[in-house]
Structure 1
Amino acid sequence: MRRILRDLKIMLMTNLWIVPVVAALVGALFYFVAPPPPMHARMATGAPSGGYHAFAERLRDELEKQGFTLELVQSRGSQDNLTKLESNEVQLALVQSGQELNVSDEEREKLAGLGVMYREPLWLFTSRKVKFEHLSDLMSLRLGVGTENSGTLAVTSALFEANRIDSTQYPATWQKVGGSRAANALIAGELDAAFFVGPAENALIQRLAASPDVRLVSLRRTSAYLARLPYLSELQVGEGMLDMAQNTPESDIVTLGPVATLVSGESFHPSLTPLILEAARTVLKNGSLLDPAGQYPARPPLSLKTLSEADYYYDKGLPILQRYLPFRIASLADRYIILAIPLLVLLFPLFKAIGPIYQWRIRARIYRWYKHLREIDQRLYKGTLPNDLSAEISRLEQLEDELARVEVPLSYSNELYELHMHLRYMIERLQSYQQRELKSQEAS
């Protein structure tokens, strides 16, 4: 056992040169690898009573299971969300499709669409006494078109502009109100009609659907609107879909609506994309009243660039490591594996050279002694040795003593003993030569 430990010690001491080499390569790996993505992000969500905020709360709770903190930031709507993204106040935001067209191309290039989360129907509720066929019928009514900078106002303005009615032509009876304020006014009879945008499950929409004082009406000429406003989509709403007890709507209707798109800004770490999208898929897996199960998230609108990580997710799903490991571990492993491959390529020939180098260094401990024997042998051949060989013999005997203290692994002992034999042979040869010289001198 002691011999084995001694051989191991010799091997380690002989190959100590590889320690700084490997340390330098590993140091380079840690230096050049990208830092891990942050486990925190801020997301603009809109008003607390809106559909965006409700979805963001569910997304936040799902991300907490992975140890990720999503901080929700209230805003005044989609346009405000875009402003917060452009100023890097938040990293994520829900934005109504079509709103991105209102920013400059330069600013839009800084944004990226992660995916469509769900559809946002445009609901037109009117009082029971109102007769509605076309948007022009609203000109004489007290109408709520949505609050300033809201997604509702953006959609209604686009519809009115398609009918050549711009904001300068809005009647004085039209009010820029929306949300709870518009719903309260409509139910109280202070408004004749009002537009709302939000999921069918939204508490505000459900409240209006359950009210006996208002009714949900259908939009017409949807094909004409879609041809002019491609960021909208058509939605079929069946009879009683919103409220079966109140039978809202009273018959099958058609409406239009944008989609809620999750958008990232410049400060968003792209590696978080699969984590966010997978959490969104879990939140939306059961679908909704209008969206089938498993349909969302979906690819973002073409008006926004898509991150390569999002493309990979929609094409192939989660990265392989994230399918089996927690996100934090998988993301670290993924980064180090990328740089570990070239590191292994460098280390493979390095470790392959350990054997020959080790063999050469061990044998060098033995073979360097042959230099002295070779010198004496050449001087014997040339006849240049001094008459008195006592000094040379003493020198070789001293070398023999030093050689006894040389340590080599057991597998190289035969070469060490051969050196002992050769050294002893040279000593005996010199001693024999010395005796012949002495006899020759005595005879003369």
Structure 2
Amino acid sequence: MGSIKQDIKETYLGIYETAQEKWNDFTQFLAEAWPILAVLFLGLIAIWLYADPPPPRHVIMATGQPGGSYDVLGKKYAAFFEKKGITLELLPTKGAEENIAHLVDRKDPVQAAFVQAGAFNPHSVKGVQSLGTISYDPIWLFYRGPKVDTTNYMEVKARSHYFLSSRISVGEKGSGTHAQAMQILKVNGFEEGVNFLYLSGSKSVEALQKGEIDAAFIVDAYEAPNVQTLLKDPSLHLSAFPRAEAYSRLYPYMQILSVPTGGFSLERNFPSRDIKLMASTTNLLIDDRMHPALQFLFLEAAREINGKSTFFSSHGEFPSFKHTGLSESPVALHYEKNGSPLLMTYLPFWLAELVNRLIFVLLPFCALAYPVLLTLPGYRNKRMRRKIDQMYGVLKTYEQELTINFKPDTKDEYLKKLDLLEYQALQLKVSKSMSGDYYALRTSIDYVRNCLNRGVQPYQLQGDESSI
């Protein structure tokens, strides 16, 4: 039993001594190599702060008119971002024109916006990229009065002239509705009329239901409250687009949407036959300087919020990367091919982003630091060997002086010098690999001391001079 206790005790002592030895080596290493480690640490900080800065915790996004569908959609995005620890501030605007202006201005803090395709000239927009389209925005033309047979072109044209001479809302200037309405009217040969009213979506609905206007263009999602209000009003009619294919050829961003008979209301059998509608798409546009992590977060929000099945879109159809009108962000191109980064799928956003940044920073840092760290043991040995060599040099100087110019009355002075040199040697903290050099130095000091203590003339036997 006693032998077992002894073995355990010896094992414990061995582990303790080994740990203490490693710790001493480590502290000695830090004391000797701290300049190099400090340079490497500063390099890591520089890469961390400048090469890959963390994403901001506050983002401003331009939406649309208060109460509109973009405003509602923006609130859903804000709630999604809040769950990820990011504050998404929503900025209400009058529409697409103002949203684009915010993004183009390089000093403007707005970094993202909902903008209808076709509501801006892509050639005049700089510094803005697309994260894809996220929804359909059908072009609705509601009107009062007799129902028009959309298959009869002459009747449609006559009714159009009637609208142009009557009171018709074409959307607020600067909005996507106004841009789409003007394009449709102009391509049909109609110019802007004096009876045009530039009302917001909610005001157009109110005026149309009260009979204050005869027709109204509204470009908005099927689920939008304004659209639903007008679709449920049996006194109003909806104009279809039988020449939708022609519009899509003229404007590639235009999408053709099919509505089956009774699709809007089976009870009213509305519409009474299959019709086609034209639709723009909502672009998710960003400042091209936006942090990549935030771009991935916007794309994840689009997938979760806009990727659900709706009346006109199937599950997973959005975000889509077709007909965006602007160049896609490199992040969007990566997302289109590979989806979200693997870390974002399994980890919270802040942790996934932190790990991703660590990988981005540590890989090049390690590539730089690895060869440097490999040289540290050699650096330590060279530094220690230089100190030992310096002491050997001092010792050699003493020895030469004692050999050539020895004076008996200086013996005690040289002994003190040798004691001081030995004390300096004792202060050296050397690794085990250099123990031989360390003890060789102390032996050499002791050898010179012994020579000095031999007699009157060091390094010579008594009577040497007489024999010569």
> Amino acid of the residue matched to residue 46 of structure 2?
A
Distance in 2 (alpha carbons) for counterparts of 1:317 and 1:89: 28
Which residue, 13, 18, 29 being the options, matches 2:47?
29
Separation of aligned partners in 2, 1:158 and 1:7: 78
Query: Is residue 235–residue 256 contact of structure 1 (8 Å, CA) maintained in 2?
Result: yes
1:318 alignment partner AA: S
Q: In the alignment, which residue of structure 1 is the partner of 2:103? A: 85
Q: Which runs of 5+ in 2 are unaligned?
A: 1-15
Give the secondary structure class of the aligned counterpart of 2:277. strand
Distance 1:16 1:406 in 2: 19
| AA aligned opposite 1:121 | P
| Contact 1:146 1:153 (C-alpha < 8 Å) held by counterparts | yes
2:168 alignment partner in structure 1: 144
Match of 1:125 in 2: 142
The 2-side partners of 1:401 and 1:171 are apart by 106
- Within 2, Cα distance between the matches of 1:403 and 1:329? 56
1:360-371 paired onto structure 2 within 5 Å = 360-371=382-393
8 Å CA contact retained: 1:231, 1:258: yes
Return closer, same or farther for 1:29/1:196 CA change in 2, 3 Å cut-off.
closer
Please give the alpha-carbon distance, in whole angstroms, between the structure 1 residues aligned to 2:88 and 2:206: 32
2: CA distance, partners of 1:440 / 1:224: 123
- In structure 1, the residue matched to 2:3 is none
**What does the per-residue CA deviation read over 1:381-434, in whole Å, with 9 as the maximum and x for residues that have no partner?**
xx7464x66745873575257425344447244444344444444444565575
Deviation at 1:258? 0.9
Q: How large is the Cα RMSD of the aligned pairs?
A: 3.6
Mapping 1:127-206, distance limit 5 Å: 127=144, 129-133=146-150, 134=153, 135-136=156-157, 137-141=159-163, 142=166, 144-149=168-173, 150-167=175-192, 170=193, 172=195, 175-177=197-199, 179-206=201-228
1: distance between equivalents of 2:83 and 2:194? 51
Cα displacement string for residues 72-98 of structure 1 (whole angstroms, at most 9, x for unaligned residues) = 222222233333434436332222211
1:6: Cα distance to partner? 5.6
Change (3 A) 1:126 1:356: same
Counterpart code for 1:148: E
Give the residue type in structure 1 aligned to 2:116.
Q
Shift of 1:283: 0.5
8 A contact 1:96–1:261 mirrored in 2: yes
Greater CA drift, 401-410 or 148-157? 401-410
* 1:235 CA drift (Å): 0.5
Q: CA 1:34 to 1:191, structure 2 compared with 1: closer, same or farther past 3 Å? A: same
The one-letter code sitting in structure 2 at the alignment partner of 1:94 is F
Aligned counterpart, 2:120: 100
Q: 8 Å contact 1:373–1:423 — kept in the other structure? A: yes
Shift of 1:242: 2.6
**Partner of 1:42: helix, strand, or coil?**
strand
Post-superposition offset of 1:59: 1.5
- Quick check: 1:145–1:152 contact (8 Å CA) kept in 2? no
Q: Contact 1:33–1:335 at 8 Å: present in 2 too?
A: no
Q: TM-score, normalised by structure 2?
A: 0.79
Residue 326 of structure 1: how far off its partner (Å) = 3.5
2:261 counterpart SS class: coil
1:395 counterpart SS class = helix
Aligned length: 435
Amino-acid identity (%): 27
1:318-333 equivalent positions in 2, closer than 5 A: 318-333=340-355
C-alpha distance in 2, partners of 1:176/1:156? Answer: 11
Do residues 399 (structure 1) and 430 (structure 2) align? no
From the superposition, tell whether residues 401 and 317 of structure 1 become closer, same or farther in structure 2 (CA, over 3 Å): same
Aligned-pair distance for 1:119? Answer: 0.8
**TM-aligned CA distance change 1:54 to 1:375, over 3 Å:** closer
Query: Contact between 1:261 and 1:300, CA under 8 Å: does it hold in 2?
Result: no
* Partner Cα distance (1:113, 1:443) in 2: 103
Alpha-carbon offset, residue 237 of structure 1: 1.0
State how far apart, in whole Å, the 2-side matches of 1:85 and 1:199 are. Answer: 23
Match of 1:257 among 263, 274, 279: 279
| Equivalent pair of 1:7/1:408 in contact (CA under 8 Å) | no
Distance, in Å, in 2 between the alignment partners of 1:279 and 1:253 is: 32
Paired position in structure 2 for 1:354: 376
**Segment of structure 1 superposing worse, 362-371 or 64-73:** 362-371
Q: 1:139 to 1:377 in 2, by over 3 A?
A: same
Distance in structure 2 (CA, Å) of the matches to 1:372 and 1:41: 68
Amino acid at match of 1:144: I
Q: 1:298, CA displacement in angstroms?
A: 1.2
Cα 1:324–1:390, aligned 2, differ >3 Å: closer, same or farther?
A: farther
- Rate the CA distance shift 1:111–1:393 in 2: closer, same or farther, 3 A: same
Give matches, 1:398-437, under 5 Å. 399=418, 402-403=421-422, 405-409=426-430, 411=432, 412-429=434-451
Q: TM-score, normalised by structure 1?
A: 0.83
Alignment partners' CA distance in 2, 1:373 and 1:196: 98
Query: Which amino acid in 2 is paired with 1:165?
Result: F
Alignment partners' CA distance in 1, 2:204 and 2:314: 30
Unaligned runs of 5+ in 1: none
The range that moved more, 5-14 or 158-167, is 5-14
Q: Match for 2:320 among 275, 294, 298? A: 298
**2:340 is paired with a residue of what secondary structure?**
coil
Determine helix, strand or coil for the equivalent of 1:140.
helix
3-state SS, counterpart of residue 88 of structure 2: strand
3-state SS in 2 of match to 1:15: helix
C-alpha separation in 1, matches of 2:41 and 2:78: 41
Is 1:46 matched with 2:64?
Answer: yes
Once residues 268 and 376 of structure 1 are traced to their aligned partners in structure 2, the CA distance between those partners, rounded to angstroms, is 70
| Aligned partners of 2:137 and 2:279 also within 8 Å | yes
| 1:343 alignment counterpart | 365
Partner of 2:11: none
**Alpha-carbon distance change, 370 to 300 in structure 1, aligned in 2, over 3 angstroms:** same
In structure 1, the partner of 2:329 is 307
CA distance in 2 between counterparts of 1:287 and 1:236 reads: 16
2:75 counterpart residue number: 57
Shift of 1:308: 1.7
Is the 2:177–2:218 Cα contact (8 Å) retained in structure 1? yes
How far apart, CA to CA, are the structure 2 residues paired with 1:56 and 1:151? 16
